[in-house]
Structure 1
Amino acid sequence: MSQGLLDAGRSAERAAASSGVSRRSFLKMSAAAGGGLLLGFSFDAGAQGDSAARKSVVGGDGNEAPQDGVFEPNAFVQIDRTGKVTLIIPKVEMGQGVYTSIPMLIAEELEVPLDSVTLDHAPPDAKLFTDPLLGGQLTGGSTSIRYAWEPMRRAGATARVALIAAAAQQWSVDAGECHAKNGEVLHDASGRRASYGQLVDAAAKLPAPQNVTLKNPKDFTLIGKPTKRLDSPEKVDGSALFGLDVRVPNMVYAAIVNCPVFGGTLARVDDTHAKQIPGVTQIVKIDNGVAVIGAHTWAAKRGAAALVIEWNEGATANLSMRQIVGDLANAAQQQPGAVARKDGDVQQAFGGAKTRVDAVYQQPFLAHATMEPINCTVHVRADACEIWVGTQVPTRAIDAGVAVTGLKPEQIVLHNHLLGGGFGRRLEVDAITQALKVGKQVNAPVKVFWTREEDIQHDMYRPFYYDRISAGLDANGKPVAWQHRIVGSSIMARFAPPAFKNGIDPDAVEVAADLPYDLPNQLIEYVRQEPHTVPTAFWRGVGPTRGTFVVESFIDECAAAAKTDPVQYRRNLLGKSPRALGVLDVATRAANWGPPMPKGQGRGVSVMHAFGSFFAMVADVSVTNGEVRVNRVVAAVDCGMVVNPTTIEAQVQGGIVFGISAALYSEITIERGRVQQRNFTDYRILRIDEAPVIEVHIVPSGEAPGGIGEPGTAALAPAVTNAIYAATGQRLRHLPVGRQLMNTQSA
């Protein structure tokens, strides 16, 4: 996720470095079962134990063929005798394009056509498949390319060098006279050539090459080039399998009815009418809900609708937004904050400031509302369990199986599928746990599905955040004092407890505690305030989404107080961050920043550094009778080295649309302990006819790749709200802005 898990991963890296373990220790070659070359490699030494243990696994000098089932590197590249390259990788595809971009890294260095690389998903194994950037086997935090960039290329280059060596040995020539191209090794002087498939058995007997040289970026033929998604055809023709598509012999279906009140439990249920529905076969009770089992989906849904349920609503039956927001406001004023950053003497700087600017920002609970509703298929037996699901956390899914069934991990099989949207929702295993509880009572495989209403009303929500922020400006309008107190739920304290240290949730303070601006005196604080029993979780863009909205909106407020153009104001503060300044200049030039807009229209800007990438966005909006329409968004992206520009453009476009929905419309509200929204009718998302023109400008960079899946969402909201201010003169500090703006204008 954000900085907390990154920090945990870096701790593992430091531990590995101090023990003298090198990355190259894990590049091992051997003969693959059935013939061919098997190249094992690790993404990070930190997850593997000591070098002596590894040496004993692979044999005396580290180069002998392994025994079956013993050698366990983090990932494998297998080249068979037909030349087919199979990559086994522990990242899941949820629309972000990694099932194309990661194979591109292998294909580039291995010198094979991309269409000769296939990908198999890795099984759950925290020991072998931990992402060192995140400290676990999971997909999120916009890290997939960041963590795969060097190891995948090095694995491909190592295999290429080995195959060249095998050919040179067979031909009795110097390896330096040979080169690889298009899945073959060529010796130009003699005109000899051999396919990889012809060489793999010989290459498998050679010692693994060490210290291979990676390609110079100027020699890339695939990386950096627009490339069509490898998974698009199956998604177009319908052959792609998502969790919801799973069909298992003798499978039945379960429609869930969850307690509508957070923390409530089942008291009693009258299932008389439900049992009379044709196709209903069983009623299953669990602690906080009821599942109706049917021979098909329609029977299960009809049966669920026929239930008469009485709930124990519990202590939060009267919980309301007034109480939640009141608790946050009180915490912001009365509770001491844990210090996330302290530079200089803020109070003294405020004393010497000419102007003081103060603001309070609020951001609502948000649902994930993935297009594929929550679902999980399980088959629980006395001695084994199978789980079919799309999850971002396969090892945690196994852990859930162990906890519910009491089986051993090796007795549980996980079939992970494509995800019809994740956005952080499928980092959680609550629905998997629930499906297992149902499955224990059903003598057959059972697909447990949530309706859209259940999905929205029983999500794990993006926290409600409450921010108090102040700045002291000198005579020139420059901030000389900056104080920011962030109040909200701590996801990290639950999801990754070791990352929650000294009262700081690193995700909640991300961006806010590491601004690209030159601010000499800063005090950034965090106050943890949990919203009673409302469950909270990561949401696309995680900490940077909430942090960027506050910071970039408030920078605009400071610019207005200083009577300075918002872009020029930012440029004056970005002298120490040339990459941030670079994207700002590209975006504002492309958006034609400067000329006045027609009445009722405005243009706003935001800048962000997060996920290892730099973003600037300019949004053009129009406001008519309180209705906001985003007409155009120009984004400039510096995400370091580019693997697939097509993916970058698509991810930024999708992130912008996702962000506009949240900025203008989306919110979860709670009254009487219940979520009030039910479906897309009242949890509104951007409609197709409302989508703006989007321009994505990729800034060339030689830096290591940054993340791309989440920054588009994270940088969007303040550009829109700043544009609304430019159009109307109204400063909107609470999201979503749609209803707020309409109410303000009508008043």
Structure 2
Amino acid sequence: MSTVEQQVTPGFETSRRGFMAGSGAALVVGFTLPASGRALAAKAAPAAFTPNAWLRITADNRVTVVCGSSEMGQGVLTAIPQLMAEELDADWPQVSVEQAPVSQAFANPAFGMQATGGSTTVRGHWDVMRNAGATARAMLVAAAAEQWKVSPADCRTEAGHVIHGSKKLSYGQLAEAAAKQKAPEKVALKDPKDFKILGQRKKRLDTAGKTNGQAKYGIDVNLPGMLVAVMSRSPTPGAKAVKVDDSAAKAVKGVKQVITLPTGVAVLATGYWAAKKGRDALKIEWDAGALKGLSSAGITKQLAAAADSATAVAKQEGAVEVRSGKVVESTYEAPYLAHACMEPMNCTAWVKPDGVEVWAGTQSQGPVQGILSQVAAVDPGKVKVNTMMLGGGFGRRFAPDFVIDATLLSKISGSPVKLVYSREDDMAAGFYRPASVAKFAGAVGADGRATLLESGVGSPSIMAASGFMKIPEDGVDTFAMEGIADHPYDIPNQRLAYGRSEPGPVVWFWRSVGHSQNIFFMESFIDELAAAAGKDPFEFRRAMLDKQPRYKKVLEVAAEKAGWGKPLPAGVTRGIAVAQSFGSYVAEVAEVSLGADGTPRVHRVVAAVDCGMTVNPAIIERQIEGAIVYGLSAALYGKISYKDGRVEQGNFHEYPVLRHNEMPKVEVHIVASSEKPGGIGEPGTPPIAPAVANAIFAATGKRLRSLPFDTEQLKKA
């Protein structure tokens, strides 16, 4: 049995210095194709026109857009080409896309590194990709004008051609000549009214590959001589293996090695089933550590105490000491949540004498390259990251744990290794959405308007857990307070504070991050204030949004399209919520009924979204629909709980997700906007839980203040 205990510390803690040294701290978004990229492009198509890192035009008039972002269902392999193709005036049927290699040239402008998350891809690349397309178009026009001996100003472009009077040349015909043109320092971008590709319902470029099997996910990788690894992981947070009896595991046919890492004990075999059987045969003595008695009840108590004593003030206005009018006090709670990606975590790694190559569905190619250079003790340039399709990401695949362990196992074993998490492994692996407790106090005056809002939030810190962020000097973890500290309502007296508490489980980014629980807290409590004031929940919110026109607009559109105030079938009630996250504004109205057993049935959700200027309305609609499914699953069922230090959930029978017959009808109404784009992968998730909870209150008068919903208190007598 081989052992490595201190070779690497799991997580991002080991990555920051290596990443910065390996890829440079400067943000690179210019139009210069790096030497390695030029060589790659030249090898692929010697006569190609490659004016920048993201574009290649070949003599057959094919336009290939290179995308540095990861595709996990959110549509970036279509959206990024649309940005480029619009300003290029490309012929859309001639446009294709390919995944970029890991390179700082493909850094996400929002992050300064090649990574995908935070609903940043489109808004981060909005100007960059359009400028790149416009620059290429100008060079093609210059090449045609030079050939025709005319002024470039007298030429126009359309559907992959440069046109002057009756003369017409395709981009492919001009590719070689355009490559010799000097790139202009500044180009004019189109007026949005002239868009022909942006804002259009273009079919996704990755659909065919996903349906015919050509698209490859990390789980699909298969290499000659590859071993498959399954790990027995720490049963409690921080537990260590102190004694391993691997004799029975090694007796399993196909098992080749057993290796102990800081994160657990791995069995390497010729296939997954042999590795799993070997893992199950291990006899391990664990030192459970300080968290062996961890329980969900203890976690709640700890977080509630932190909420009570919250001193890191995120927002303070007016005076909160004096409470007058009708006063409301409430406590809300949300549990840890797993990401539950349909494709469990996996990575194939091959540590060779001259470098490292990995195949993974990762959201963080840039950081991974830096991390693995340290793990394998090689120069970052010798780490090749092949980005595979992601079978769901939701933030989980931004974490590096599965990539680190696969690389360590390959380095120790001397073979290419595919590390695969079972569903149960993944569910108990940590990297959860933080559990949180929020305590609120509020007041409404005689005029029915809110006069006071006070809140203390107790929660672990994602910023601290990330390893690449620092909590600001004021002590406020931005993620723990987003959705509360930046709420839109005009309330004169406020104090909103954060109390950090670390019960033990590793926390991480989860779809919509802090908004996912905080909007449930905030929008439910606003509903409580509306009830105390005797006001309609829609009108109560609307009256406090005069200074927030984008919030107000989506709220009004959602209410109008849902028929707010109009009669509903017997037993059905409506609830409403509104939120801003990642630069986009979403309001949702849920129509809900209750079964005799207290189970909510969501019949219809009407969503209004203002995400600024749009790239592809069809993608926006699908992302809002998917975000509602994700958020509704969490609201009805999602919970990671602890008993005696161990996670109680193992698979989907204990961690259910919404089934087809539970899916509500979803209507998405996109509000026209001239603002720059916001994100769209996450903003649909936060409003759904409070909208449903508020509808349940309208039906029963019972306020649900914890997630997932406790249907026991809703049972009819």
TM-score with structure 2 setting the length: 0.92
Inter-CA distance 258–510: structure 2 relative to 1 (3 Å threshold): same
Q: Aligned pair 1:524/2:524, yes or no?
A: no
State which of 344, 353, 367 in structure 1 corresponds to 2:318. Answer: 344
- Contact persistence 1:599–1:727 (CA under 8 A): no
Q: Aligned pair 1:439/2:410, yes or no?
A: yes
Q: Aligned pair 1:247/2:222, yes or no?
A: yes
Inter-CA distance 24–224: structure 2 relative to 1 (3 Å threshold): same
State which of 153, 178, 182 in structure 1 corresponds to 2:155. Answer: 178
Name 1:133's counterpart in structure 2. 110
Shift of 1:723: 0.8
Name 2:48's counterpart in structure 1. 36
Name 1:735's counterpart in structure 2. 707
Shift of 1:726: 1.0
Name 2:61's counterpart in structure 1. 83
The code of the aligned residue for 2:48 comes to G
- Equivalent positions of 1:493-508 (< 5 A) are 493-495=464-466, 496-498=468-470, 500-508=472-480
Shift of 1:249: 1.3
- Equivalent positions of 1:54-203 (< 5 A) are 75-126=53-104, 128-188=105-165, 191-203=166-178
- Equivalent positions of 1:649-660 (< 5 A) are 649-660=621-632
Name 2:23's counterpart in structure 1. none
- Contact persistence 1:90–1:121 (CA under 8 A): yes
- Equivalent positions of 1:253-652 (< 5 A) are 253-333=228-308, 335-347=309-321, 350-351=322-323, 353-495=324-466, 496-498=468-470, 500-532=472-504, 534-624=505-595, 625-652=597-624
Cα distance in 2 between the residues matched to 1:724 and 1:500: 39
Cα distance in 1 between the residues matched to 2:465 and 2:429: 18
Percent of residue pairs bearing the same amino acid type = 45
Cα distance in 2 between the residues matched to 1:399 and 1:694: 42
Cα distance in 1 between the residues matched to 2:310 and 2:690: 28
Shift of 1:525: 0.9
Cα distance in 1 between the residues matched to 2:373 and 2:167: 56
What SS does the corresponding residue of 1:542 show, helix, strand or coil?
coil
The code of the aligned residue for 1:84 comes to R
Inter-CA distance 593–159: structure 2 relative to 1 (3 Å threshold): same
Unaligned 5+ runs, structure 2: 1-25
Inter-CA distance 608–695: structure 2 relative to 1 (3 Å threshold): same
What SS does the corresponding residue of 1:240 show, helix, strand or coil?
coil
The code of the aligned residue for 2:49 comes to L
Inter-CA distance 517–690: structure 2 relative to 1 (3 Å threshold): same
Inter-CA distance 513–275: structure 2 relative to 1 (3 Å threshold): same
Shift of 1:710: 0.2
Q: Deviations over 1:534-584 (max 9, x none)?
A: 100010011221221111111100000001110111111111122211111
Q: Deviations over 1:641-660 (max 9, x none)?
A: 11101100100000000000
- Contact persistence 1:493–1:500 (CA under 8 A): no
Shift of 1:28: 11
Cα distance in 2 between the residues matched to 1:203 and 1:79: 10
Name 1:231's counterpart in structure 2. 206
The code of the aligned residue for 2:558 comes to A
Name 2:22's counterpart in structure 1. none
Cα distance in 1 between the residues matched to 2:396 and 2:487: 28
Inter-CA distance 328–260: structure 2 relative to 1 (3 Å threshold): same
The code of the aligned residue for 2:300 comes to V
Inter-CA distance 398–195: structure 2 relative to 1 (3 Å threshold): same
The code of the aligned residue for 1:130 comes to A
Cα distance in 1 between the residues matched to 2:255 and 2:49: 52
Cα distance in 2 between the residues matched to 1:439 and 1:265: 21
Q: Deviations over 1:660-692 (max 9, x none)?
A: 000011100011111000000001111111111
Cα distance in 1 between the residues matched to 2:478 and 2:333: 19
The code of the aligned residue for 1:227 comes to K
Cα distance in 2 between the residues matched to 1:236 and 1:730: 46
What SS does the corresponding residue of 1:269 show, helix, strand or coil?
strand
Shift of 1:79: 2.0
The code of the aligned residue for 1:346 comes to V
The code of the aligned residue for 1:152 comes to M
What SS does the corresponding residue of 1:440 show, helix, strand or coil?
helix
Cα distance in 2 between the residues matched to 1:411 and 1:212: 36
Cα distance in 2 between the residues matched to 1:22 and 1:89: 15
- Contact persistence 1:141–1:611 (CA under 8 A): yes
What SS does the corresponding residue of 1:706 show, helix, strand or coil?
coil
Q: Deviations over 1:141-197 (max 9, x none)?
A: 111110111221121112112211111111111222211112111111xx2111112
Name 1:675's counterpart in structure 2. 647
Name 1:218's counterpart in structure 2. 193
Inter-CA distance 39–91: structure 2 relative to 1 (3 Å threshold): same
Unaligned 5+ runs, structure 1: 1-18, 41-74
The code of the aligned residue for 2:443 comes to G
- Contact persistence 2:28–2:107 (CA under 8 A): no
Shift of 1:27: 10
The code of the aligned residue for 1:562 comes to A
- Contact persistence 1:28–1:39 (CA under 8 A): no
The code of the aligned residue for 1:244 comes to I
- Contact persistence 2:517–2:686 (CA under 8 A): yes
Name 1:698's counterpart in structure 2. 670
Shift of 1:493: 2.0
Shift of 1:456: 0.4
Shift of 1:135: 4.1
The code of the aligned residue for 1:248 comes to L
- Contact persistence 1:482–1:523 (CA under 8 A): yes
Cα distance in 2 between the residues matched to 1:229 and 1:121: 15
Shift of 1:478: 0.8
Shift of 1:500: 3.7
What SS does the corresponding residue of 2:184 show, helix, strand or coil?
coil
What SS does the corresponding residue of 1:712 show, helix, strand or coil?
coil
- Contact persistence 2:465–2:508 (CA under 8 A): no
- Contact persistence 2:32–2:51 (CA under 8 A): no
Name 2:20's counterpart in structure 1. none
Cα distance in 1 between the residues matched to 2:536 and 2:415: 66
- Contact persistence 2:92–2:159 (CA under 8 A): no
Shift of 1:105: 1.1
What SS does the corresponding residue of 2:54 show, helix, strand or coil?
strand
Shift of 1:227: 1.3
Shift of 1:627: 1.0
Inter-CA distance 22–322: structure 2 relative to 1 (3 Å threshold): closer
Shift of 1:102: 0.9
